[in-house]
Amino acid sequence: MALLQISEPGQAPDPHQRRIAVGIDLGTTHSLVASVRNSVAECLPDAQGQVILPSAVRYLEND
């Protein structure tokens, strides 16, 4: 499977397949994930319905 495949719109090898891309905003305090549906960016909620998530980083001493 190719990591990245570039083609003209409508000229993809499998135009019937729907592919979804997401964007991740990693902020210093909060983060969120969004996708584009029907030409509109839409934030994706977590299991509890929250779209704005606290940004957290964990460092383990042995890693």
> What's the pTM value of the predicted model, to 2 decimals?
0.56
39 located within any domain: yes
Per the structure, the count of domains in the chain is: 1
40 located within any domain: yes
**Residue 62 banded pLDDT, cuts 50, 70, 90:** confident
Strand 53-54 relative to strand 22-26, pairing? unpaired
Q: Tell me the sheet residues that pair with 30.
A: 54
48 located within any domain: yes
pLDDT digits (tens, 9 = 90+) for 1-46: 556 667 776 666 665 566 678 899 999 999 999 998 888 889 999 9
3 located within any domain: no
7 located within any domain: no
- How far apart are alpha carbons 45 and 60 in whole angstroms? 28
12 located within any domain: no
Specify the DSSP class assigned to residue 16.
Answer: T
Alpha-carbon distances of 28 from 19, 24, 34, 58, rounded to whole Å: 30, 13, 17, 14
pLDDT at 22: 87
Residue 35, domain extent: 22-54
Q: Is the pLDDT of residue 49 over 60?
A: yes
CB 59 within 8 A of CB 37: no
